[in-house]
Amino acid sequence: MIRDILDKAISGKRLSKEDALELFRSDEIHIIGRVADMISTKFNSNRVYFVVNRHINPTNICINRCRFCAFSRSRGDDGAFELTIDEIIERIQEAEGLKEVHIVGGLHPEWPFSYYLDMLRKIKERFPEVHIKAFTAVEIDYLVRLSGLSLTETLQRLKEQGLDAMPGGGAEIFNKTVRDRLCPEKISGERWLEIHRAAHELGIKTNATMLYGHIESYEDRVDHLLRLREFQDQTGGFQAFIPLSYHPENTDIGGRFPSGIDDLKTIAVSRLVLDNFQHIKAYWIMLGEKLSQIALLFGADDIDGTVIEEHITHAAGGKTASSMEKFEIIDIIKRTGKVPVERDALYNIVEIYN
Ligand code: V47
Ligand code: SF4
């Protein structure tokens, strides 16, 4: 019974694999969402976090060809781009009041490790007050190969040059069968976790994601969430979990957008299952402004940020704007009855907007 499972969550007991599956299979999203909101309130009171940030994709040229990715290109393809470090600095300079720069890109076939170190160093020199959240575990694995150093040494070098935190991309779905069909060239789920473990051991906070709504089953989602929960028990280094709503356009696997119901249910079940994650993020770029507002009443306590420029979602049919002004984010949050809290990349509070 759904109600028994929700009572279990309310009394602080950990949900089992079967509980999580039953929640995903249920149509009772109102009550699941209501309880997820109660649990969210236990974690974060009535606060909703956001960050004044800017996304930078240094390149979309990528040696991998993930079948859900409409963003990547091969060298010489139409629409392939690569930014110089000066162009990256220029983009950051244009943004006002920035607290975080979020940097992810393709696995470029020719750039050396020194490009990435120089990028971090020069950004930090110019903008010491801005946190750098950069490079998914997939990119870090690639940088390990480029640097010829160990994983820990590679991360240490990046940290020394200014890496403050890592984003959660590249997790997709851990299950090997699904992963082999989605992104055969990508690092395994085990390697993704190994890289996050090494980061956590060095004190680098990271996020975790799950790409849902393509070819995976509810069992695969639950397996993914439980692996993250078990891992977080061990390291405690994840800051936020972000369910990523699949966008099908211009991709090899195609298919449909997940329904709004699935989006809300996935946020709510994630909040209930991940009882050791402080934050669940409703990424407005993928959910849309209005659905992410509702997600804030379904267990999410973070809406990401101003973003400014976005390519990954929009290449795959994203319908939102790429940028939202700070005042608009504050308004969206306020109209849920919650309190907007501006944060930096490490969840330090910048300002509370009562
Ligand atoms: O790793 C790629 C995903 C990720 C598609 O940590 C797609 O704060 C949907 O990880 N449909 C990058 N998703 C985005 C990401 C992220 C975004 C915002 C905040 C944070 C954070 C992390 O986007 C990729 C991949 O998993 N992705 N293609 C697609 N067609
Ligand atoms: Fe490359 Fe990342 Fe796109 Fe995969 S998801 S093709 S690794 S840019």
How much is the pLDDT for 167? 98
Q: Is the CB of 312 under 6 A from ligand 1?
A: yes
Mean pLDDT across the stretch 190-203?
98
Residue closest to 263 by CA, chosen among 305, 291, 290, 240: 291
Band of the pLDDT at 180, cuts 50, 70, 90? very high
Residue closest to 220 by CA, chosen among 173, 169, 267: 173
Q: Is the CB of 136 under 6 A from ligand 1?
A: yes
Q: How many CA atoms lie within 13 A of 99 on its CB side?
A: 17
Closest residue by Cα to atom 21, ligand 1, is 167
Summarised one tens digit per residue, pLDDT across range 298-351 is 999 999 999 999 999 999 999 999 999 999 999 999 999 999 999 999 999 999
Residue with tokens 């405690």: 236
Structure tokens at 215: 């070819």
From the alpha carbon of 68, which atom of ligand 2 is closest? 5
Structure tokens at 349: 């509070």
Interval between CA 126 and ligand 2 midpoint (Å): 29
Ligand 2 pocket, Cβ-based, cut-off 6 angstroms: 62, 64-66, 69, 71-72, 106-107, 138, 183, 186
Closest residue by Cα to atom 13, ligand 1, is 246
For 236, left (φ over 0), alpha (ψ -120 to 50), or beta? left
Summarised one tens digit per residue, pLDDT across range 23-71 is 999 999 999 999 999 999 999 999 999 999 999 999 999 999 999 999 9
Interval between CA 354 and ligand 2 midpoint (Å): 40
Q: How many CA atoms lie within 13 A of 117 on its CB side?
A: 14
How much is the pLDDT for 248? 98
Q: Ligand 1, residues 209, 252, 280: which to mutate, most atoms within 8 A of Cβ?
A: 209
Band of the pLDDT at 271, cuts 50, 70, 90? very high
Q: Are 106 and 315 within 8 A, CB to CB?
A: no
> Looking at the CA of 68, which ligand is closest?
1
Summarised one tens digit per residue, pLDDT across range 197-224 is 999 999 999 999 999 999 999 999 999 9
DSSP character at residue 335: T
Domain with residue 260: its CATH number is: 3.20.20.70
Mean pLDDT across the stretch 137-163?
98
Structure tokens at 212: 């849902």
In this structure, which amino acid lies at residue 188?
A: S
Closest residue by Cα to atom 7, ligand 2, is 64
Interval between CA 172 and ligand 1 midpoint (Å): 8
Instruction: Say how far apart CA 242 and CA 261 lie, in whole Å.
Output: 17
Interval between CA 352 and ligand 2 midpoint (Å): 36
From the alpha carbon of 69, which atom of ligand 2 is closest? 3
Interval between CA 66 and ligand 2 midpoint (Å): 5
Closest residue by Cα to atom 15, ligand 1, is 169
Q: Is the CB of 206 under 6 A from ligand 1?
A: no
How much is the pLDDT for 14? 98
By residue range, what is the domain housing residue 70? 2-352
Q: How many CA atoms lie within 13 A of 197 on its CB side?
A: 12
Q: Which residues contact 53 (CB under 8 A, 6 or more apart)?
A: 98, 99, 100, 101, 102, 133, 304, 305, 306, 307, 308, 345
What are the Cα distances from residue 168, in Å, to 13, 17, 122, 165, 238?
26, 23, 24, 10, 9
> Looking at the CA of 282, which ligand is closest?
1
Interval between CA 298 and ligand 2 midpoint (Å): 30
How much is the pLDDT for 121? 98
Band of the pLDDT at 155, cuts 50, 70, 90? very high
Interval between CA 134 and ligand 1 midpoint (Å): 13
- Number of folded domains in the chain? 1
Helix (H/G/I), strand (E/B), else coil: 128:
coil
Residue closest to 321 by CA, chosen among 294, 284, 292: 284
Helix (H/G/I), strand (E/B), else coil: 11:
coil
In this structure, which amino acid lies at residue 323?
A: S
How much is the pLDDT for 283? 98
Rounded to a whole number of angstroms, the CA Rg of the chain reads 19
Q: Ligand 2, residues 56, 108, 181, 186: which to mutate, most atoms within 8 A of Cβ?
A: 186
Predicted TM-score of the model (pTM): 0.98
Work out the burial of residue 90: count CB atoms within 10 Å of its CB; fewer than 13 is exposed, 13-18 middle, 19 or more buried.
exposed
- % of residues, the chain, pLDDT over 70: 100
Mean pLDDT across the stretch 260-280?
98
